[in-house]
Chain A
Amino acid sequence: VLTQSPLSSPVTIGQPASISCSSSQSLVNSAGNTYLSWLQQRPGQPPRLLIYRISNRFSGVPDRFSGSGAGTDFTLKISRVEAEDVGVYYCTQSTHFPYTFGQGTKLEIK
C-alpha cells in the first residue's frame, strides 16, 4: 500500500510544494533497484510521467520537479509552483506485483 500526504495542498504561485509517499513494504527488489515513479494528472487528461526510479526526471519535465527517497519513504518536490502545475499527483510502484498507486494529492493554487 502506498500512502500519500497531504491529500490536498493549496500552494501560492512561486512557493515550493512537497508531497510524501510512504510504502507499507520496501520497494527495493532483490537486485537492489527501486521502481518508484511520480505521475501528474491535469484535469481531464491522462496521467503524465514526471519522475522514474525515485529521482530521474522524464523527458521534457521542468527541473523544478525533483524526487528523492529510499526504501519505503519518498518525496516529490516542486521548487516553485506555477499555475500549470495544478492537478493530482500520484506515486506508483512497479517493484512488486500487484503494481499500486497512492491515493493522489490534489495541488491547488491559493
Chain B
Amino acid sequence: QVQLVQSGVEVKRPGASVTLSCKTSGYPFINHPITWVRQAPGQGLEWVGWIKPSSGATNCAQNVLGRVTMTTDISTKTAFMELRTLTSDDTAVYYCAREVIGVTNGDFWGQGSLVIVSS
C-alpha cells in the first residue's frame, strides 16, 4: 500500500536550517511529484512547494523562495526539503503528499513533521 513516512520533531534556533525527509513506499516513486504543505499551530494549510522526481523540477511558494531546497533520492524513494534562515513564522507541522498528475495534488499524505523555531 502507498505510504509516506516523515521524519520526526525538530527544534531549531532562529536563523538555523532544517532538513525534513519523506520516505515513500508502495508505488513507483519516479512517477509522482511530491508536494510539501505546512500548517502553523491552529491555522490552515499552506502550500510550500513541489518537486517532480523524474526531472528534479521544482516550484515553491513566494514566501519561501530562496530559502527552500527540495530534492529527491530515487534509490531510497525519499524526498527531502531543506528550509534555511528559519524564523518563528516557520513553526508548523510540515506534510508531504503524493501528487497524481492530472488528478490531484495530494491523494496520500505523510503523518507530518513538527518544526519548532524558538530561541
Contact = CB atoms under 8 A, between A and B. Distances in A.
B14 interface: no
Nearest to A33: B102
Contacts, number: 66
User: Taking chain A's interface residues, is the majority helix, strand, or loop, or is none over half, making it mixed?
Assistant: loop
Interface in A28-84: 33, 35, 37, 39, 41, 46-49, 52-53, 58
Nearest to A49: B107
A36 B46 CA distance: 16
Nearest to B63: A98
B35 A99 contact: yes
How large, as a class, is the contact surface on chain B?
A: 20 to 34
B80 interface: no
A89 B61 CA distance: 22
A101 B103 contact: no
A49 to B, nearest CB: 5
A49 B47 contact: no
Interface in A75-110: 88, 90, 92, 94, 97-104
A92 B44 CA distance: 12
Contact of B45 (A35, A49, A104): A104
B43 to A, nearest CB: 9
Interface string A7-39: 000000000000000000000000001010101
B104 A47 contact: no
B111 A99 contact: no
A2 B94 CA distance: 21
Interface string B64-103: 0000000000000000000000000000000101011011
30 contacts: A35-B102, A35-B103, A35-B105, A37-B104, A39-B106, A46-B109, A46-B110, A46-B112, A47-B37, A47-B97, A47-B106, A48-B109, A49-B106, A49-B107, A52-B100, A52-B107, A53-B103, A53-B104, A88-B44, A97-B50, A97-B59, A98-B47, A98-B60, A99-B105, A100-B47, A101-B37, A101-B45, A101-B47, A103-B44, A104-B45
List the 6 shortest-distance A-B pairs measured between CB atoms, nearest first. A94-B105, A52-B104, A99-B47, A46-B109, A101-B45, A104-B44
